[in-house]
Structure 1
Amino acid sequence: MAKDVIISLSLVPASEVLNHIVLGLFETAQAAREVLFQKENFRRFSTYLEKTSAILKELAKQNLDHSESLTTCLEILDRELKVAKRLVVECSKRNKVYLLVNCRKIVNQLDRSTKEISWALSLFPLASLDGSLSINSQIDNLCKDMLEAEYRAAVAEEEILAKIELGIQERNGARSYANDLLIQIAEALGLSTEQSALKKEYEEFKREIEDTEQRKEQEAALQMEQIIALLENADATTSAEEKEKKYYERRNSLGSQPLQPLQGFYCSLTHEVMVDPVETSSGQTFERSAIEKWFVEGKNLCPLTNTPLDTSALRSNRTLQQSIEEWRDRNTIITIVSTKQKLQSNEEEEVLQSLSKVQELCTERDLHREWVTMEDYIPVLIGLLSAKNREIRKRALSILSILAKDTEENKEKIANVDNALGSIVHSLARQHEESKLALHLLLELSASDTVRDSMGNIQGCILLLATMLKSDDNQNAREAQELLENLSFLDQNVKQMVKANYFKPLLKHLCSGPEDIRMSMAETLAETELTDHSKLLIVKDGALGPLIQMLSHSDLEMKKVAVKCLLQLSKLPENGLQMIREGVVGPLFEVLYRHSLQLPALREQVAATVMHLSISTTSQESNEERALLLESEEDCFKLFSLISLTGPDVQQNILKSFEALCQSPFGLDIRMKLRQLSAVQVLVQLCEANHHAVRANAVKLFYLLTKDGDDDTFLEHVSQRCIEALLGIIETSNDVEEIAAALGIVDNLPKSSEMTQWLLDAETLRIIYMCLADGNRDASYKRQVVENAVGTLCRFTVSTNQEWQRSVAEAGLIKVLVQFLASGTAFTKQKAAIALQQLSESSKSLSKPVKKFRIFQCCISASEASCPAHLRICGVESSFCILEANAVEPLVKMLGEQDVETCEASLDALMTLIDPQKPQAGSRVLDKANAIAAIIKLLSSNSERLQGKCLKSLEMIFQLDELKQKYGSSAQMPLVDIAQKKGSDLKEIKSLAAKILVQLGVLGAQSSFF
């Protein structure tokens, strides 16, 4: 960056000053682009500086004389340039946390500088210059933009500042508050949340205080000291050793006896020590909640002085509050120190009372938990797990759980005490309440990688946990299962065995227990996270029968629990089929139709279960066993009619159900029933639904119904508005399957002239081009969307309407179709070849004759080259000639494809080059492209239809003696094989093969082959 120069503006030529400012603005703009903090704001500021620099550079070329207006302008620009340089340097070098807490100042400075520079530009004496109107307009526009410019701190930054202000205001010393704040700051700045990284950033931030104090920025220094006091409570900012040292310094400065509160600490209304003291307009202090209650009761006089009070004027007494907090903390530390000795007493009652006090303190504040840990309570508490008194053990487990949950360090401290894990595991085998507390503590400890690695090796741990899986206490069973899953070193087979052992007793009670027990077992099953293996085992071991009975029970709560279980189990297709076989469909629909309207959540769960059952019918196993979900037209009608009566969640599940059923082995029957029910009319309306998932599923089902539907159904319900809605989906949706389905619908719509014209008027060709030319999409997009897009094009390329064909050519789609001959899927290649074939059928009539020049014209003008196939003047857009479009080579390659229909399509396209009346030119083109050998090879195809097409092609080609001689010998054997085939249905192709053999001179015209 250029060095600042102190310039006396009145002594230096104006142009020189201006050049200095131009250079400074440009360099500052470049530096601003490199600032990482407030990146977007500095980029916007940089843009304004660059534009200002460019305009001033032009103005500097003028002959400028000092005037009052120009001098003011230059002074402002010079001043703001220095401010901007300083701001850019600071934001590039200073600590990120410092910048964040000052982000409002930085944003305000950017805003002020932008407005000042705008003001300076507006003062430039343009009237005295010979400048053009263009420069005046540029300055006006830039000044307007800069005046309207807005710089804002990010939402995350504002939230952090608000949290800092609240923490300072409330003097919040909670470690959790500081931890959350520090993490929030790190995430907003893109810093690592590792403790070492946070510690380093915090130390750098502290060093900023020294710089701030040296600059005598007292207000900023005070603010940072308050922020540091807030953040120093976080785990990352102060090491355990530093915290411990600070604690013991404070602890050792205290006496051994708690102090009584000062009289001023008491509220005269509650007669208790205040928590949130506030001062009233009379100068007296009360507990906030007490004086507010006093005012609510209509009392407006001071309780002590009896003078009138301003009820809106309550000011927090921070000094008194701080004194009270210090008194409380002092007494708490003394209590924690003295109580530890009492825990080692032989008097059980004293130990229990002491444990209650410690538990109460640990629950109150995280700072208290920190002090308890520093006083080395953990080994003492672990020791109490061996006490004979059950209540002592339970209290010790509860306190250890609170401490374990607090920090990762505490988890490790507990585990590192000699035989600590063994003592806790031993408590698992004791009575229910103690066992539950021990399990909860182990679950907390298992969140630590270090502790978890050694926990499972404790003798009896796994066995005890497996036993607890069978507990009647659902919470216990779930925590035992979660803990087992946390022990990642366990073999998966062991985990499955443990889960299987858990479910066996559950299923036993579910199948044969009393009603209340069955209900309890079903609730456990519904709430338990199950693996696929567990789901299979549960169904295999007979859970469906009892659940279906519960589904048919008169008690609504039983129905709810049964539905939740069935919903979870039905997610596995094998289970879905088994459910259908065991008769779940009838009771499930009964719940859906009779109870669901008053219970939306139940209706949604039933609809989701039906959807899973529908998906299961798409499997091959379903075809073999005829697993029918909707047997009658009435079933189909009742389920489909719910689409119009329910909300989005149920709608999309029912649509998904029908989508799956339409693709099942019985899909044809389902599609026919839906069309009879006028489902198309409903789906057309849903194509404009606001809910994306509902619309997408409706479009996919609509597509399936168009695959084999009759034209009359769609001509009746599909309007021009529907077409526009479908095209809008194709153009704007991000759902690949929805786009592909919408294109498929357009492809399958009736090929009527009116509907095709609607499509053209709605710019369908432009949208198709967009789909085919989008190279940024993934392979999945190309495969699904491109196939349907190319298929849709075929309706516009029919040779019966050359105006439609011309629209395709003018849209640049012929070139795209040729590209897909080489790179598309088999289906895409087939459809592209069909489209090109239809276009090529018009080439002869659209080609132009070659001009004949007179003798003198011939000397002057070169004759136009004619098309080798059509012997006339051809073009891609003028006559749709596939030879001119370079489509012949990829079409010939397609003759070698494995897919028969692809071969047929390419052969049909190539044969449009041959005029049946004059086959010579086209046949020579195919010979040059090596197509004839490929056609002869296809004579060995298993497809009789393809063989027939090849024979017709060769019959025309072999009218040329030169080609007959060149290829006749290679064609003889395949032709003889066809001619000798047996079967009355092969008569036509046998006769055609024999005719070609006559052409080749292999057979006589009167051969018995005819």
Structure 2
Amino acid sequence: MPQYQERRETPLDLKMLIEEIMESSIEVPSVFICPISLEPMLDPVTLCTGQTYDRSNILKWFSLGHKTCPTTMQELWDDSVTPNNTLNHFILTWFSQKYSSMKKKFEDIQGTTLEVLNTLKKVKGQARVRALKQLRELVDSHVFTRKTVEENGGVALVSSLLGPFTSHAVGSEVIGILVNLDLSSELKRNLIHPAKVSLLVDIMNEGTIQTKMNCAKLIQMLLMEGNGSEKVVSSLSLLVGLLRLVRDKKHPKGVLTGLILLKIIICSRESVRSSVVSIGAVPQLIELLPNLNNECLEIALCILEVLSTVPEGTVALKECPNIIPNVVKVLMRVSESCTQFALSILWAIYKLAPQECASKAVEAGLAPKLLLVIQSGCNPVLKQMSSEFLKLCSLDYSTSILISKCMLTATIQ
């Protein structure tokens, strides 16, 4: 096989150009991509089969003992590799042009960003709203704009505009900017001030769907700080706003954002769970279950399982008309975690009303689902839970009827 040649020195500028362009998600011509690594070639070489690879990748292929062309799998009749200087020139030229264009764009946007930051220091009223909107659009569209804002005092400047007398128009734009920036711990603690939290919650309840999502994301960032976050989660208005976001079926991203924050709140703050139940979260989530995608479904079931740990939550679950059939349906259909959450919810209802729960569960097809769990490769805890549940159902349901229900449901499925 080939005499292993030392890799030619790759010009550092090409390596740098490729890294910069790839970070910007610009589509690279397929002819520049090495078939082995699926990355742009730094040093293209061609085999006797006519196929071109990056030198380092093809030499690694040969070092593993292969005597074929990776793409065609043909036996190589000539073991030499030939530098593809023409392709190398095209690669360098293309990346250089793209980089120059990108650099000019970056400089233009950076200049605009600095101008907007300077404008924000001077203007008020509608002029301030327009400047903030322009900055938000820049931050949304260009990752490197965020760095410019952060390195030029923009984070402190923008956050200082959020206060007790801030209009919702200004507040919405400020929040839309802050959620895309790297906030210091000190700034997060400052944002947890009661007046700012109150404004944040008000804007969340009255803003557009994007504003609601931005508010939820910013609150999530504040909760991660810990200190003073109790002021945030204790707001009943916040919980109501989150449920509104979760119920908005027209905006799946908003549903996911709301569910994530709601889960964080109830999992980290036991004292809030009763409040979440009191505003009707349980029946609303149960109603949503059949229409949620898998990711949202798992989070919703987790929330319901946590709420089932408080007495009010268990009662609310039991009183939902479709709770048992809706929960039984998700067993063994999405993930092991979903199955575990679902069984925990059913278990909580069973302990409150054994006979009623067992009857409805068997009618909904629980028995064959439990047998499926027991026979599957699920974790032992889940299998044990299913076995115990099956035994309890059989105690409250005659054996012959239980078996017939199993067979009938299995046949229908």
Give me the TM-score of the superposition, normalised by structure 1: 0.26
Distance 1:445 1:388 in 2: 19
How far is 1:577 from its partner? 4.9
Query: Residues 129 and 169 of structure 2 are in contact (CA less than 8 Å); yes or no, is this contact kept in structure 1?
Result: yes
Would the alpha carbon gap of residues 346 and 168 (structure 1) be closer, same or farther in structure 2, given more than 3 Å must change?
closer
Pair 1:529 & 2:314 matched: no
Match of 1:395 among 173, 179, 185: 173
Residue 317 (1) aligns with residue 98 (2): no
Equivalent position SS for 1:350: helix
Give 1:430's aligned residue: 202
Alpha-carbon distance in structure 2 between the residues aligned to 1:607 and 1:585: 19
Deviation at 1:607, TM superposition (A): 5.6
Aligned twin of 1:468: 238
What do residues 559-593 of structure 1 show as CA deviations (whole Å, max 9, x unaligned)?
54674599645326564455641154356445579
- Structure 1 residue aligned with 2:107: 330
Q: Is 2:349 the partner of 1:571? A: no
Question: Matches of 1:483 and 1:532 in 2, distance apart?
Answer: 11
Q: Aligned letter for 1:461?
A: V
Please tell me the residue identity of whatever aligns with 1:519. Answer: E
Aligned partner of 2:184 in structure 1 is 411
- Give the 3-state SS of the residue equivalent to 1:428 in structure 2: helix
- Paired letter, 1:172: I
Shift of 1:631: 1.3
* Residue matched to 1:454: 227
- Give the direction of change, closer, same or farther, for the CA distance of 1:518–1:444 in structure 2 (3 Å limit): closer
Report the CA distance between 1:365 and its aligned residue.
3.2
Amino acid in structure 1 at the alignment position of 2:21 = N
Q: Is the 8 A contact 2:146 2:181 kept in 1?
A: yes
CA shift in 2, pair 1:170/1:439, >3 Å: closer
Structure 2: how far apart are the matches of 1:174 and 1:336? Answer: 21
Tell me what 1:339 maps to: 116
Matches within 5 A, 1:115-194: 168-169=17-18, 171-172=20-21, 174=23
Question: Corresponding residue for 1:263?
Answer: none
Equivalence for 1:633? 400
CA distance in 1, matches of 2:201, 2:311: 29
SS in 2 for 1:519: helix
CA displacement 1:588-608 (0-9 Å, x = unmatched): 445579xxxxxxxxx869965
The change in CA–CA distance for 1:344 and 1:453 in structure 2 (over 3 A counts) is: same
Residues of 2 paired with 1:590 and 1:485: CA distance? 29
Shift of 1:425: 1.5
Question: What letter matches 2:179 in structure 1?
Answer: S
1:370 and 2:147 matched: yes
- 2:128 aligned residue: 351
SS of aligned partner of 1:430: helix
Higher relative contact order (CA 8 A, sep 6+): 2
Distance in 2 (CA, whole Å) between partners of 1:391 and 1:605 is 53
Question: What SS does the aligned partner of 1:395 have?
Answer: helix
1:430-476, Cα deviation, whole Å (9 max, x unpaired): 241367633421312444xxxx242326xx43421x54334432357
Deviation of residue 330 (structure 1)? 1.9
* CA shift for structure 1 position 399: 0.6
Give the superposition deviation at 1:331. 1.4
The alpha-carbon distance between structure 1 residues 520 and 454, as it changes in their structure 2 partners (threshold 3 A), is same
Counterpart position of 2:8: none
**Number of aligned residue pairs:** 304
TM-score by length of 2: 0.56
The CA distance in 2 between the partners of 1:607 and 1:500, in whole Å, is 34
Residues in 2 aligned to 1:533 and 1:527: alpha-carbon distance in whole angstroms? 10
Would you say the 8 A contact 1:362–1:399 is kept in 2?
yes
SS of corresponding position for 2:184: helix
Q: Which amino acid aligns with 1:390?
A: H
What do the CA deviations read for 1:255-297 (whole angstroms, capped 9, x no partner)?
xxxxxxxxxxxxxxxxxxxxxxxxxxxxxxxxxxxxxxxxxxx
For 2:273, give the aligned amino acid: K
Following superposition, the deviation at residue 401 of structure 1 comes to 0.5
For the residue of structure 2 that corresponds to 1:455, the secondary structure is coil
Q: For structure 2, which runs of at least 5 residues remain unmatched after alignment? A: 6-13, 26-55, 57-89, 247-254, 332-337, 375-381
**SS of corresponding position for 1:454:** coil
Task: Name the SS for the 1:327 alignment partner.
Answer: helix
Q: RMSD value over aligned CA atoms?
A: 4.8
Structure 1 unaligned residues grouped into runs of 5+: 1-107, 113-164, 177-222, 224-312, 405-409, 488-494, 511-515, 552-558, 594-602, 647-1010
Given the superposition, is the C-alpha separation of residues 539 and 361 from structure 1 closer, same or farther in structure 2, using an over 3 Å criterion?
closer
Letter of the 1:468 partner, please give it. Answer: L
Whether the 8 Å CA contact 2:162–2:196 is kept in 1: the answer is yes
Preserved CA contact (<8 Å) 1:456 1:462: yes
- State the distance in 2 between where 1:629 and 1:533 align: 26
Provide the rounded CA distance (Å) in 1 between the counterparts of 2:239 and 2:110: 42
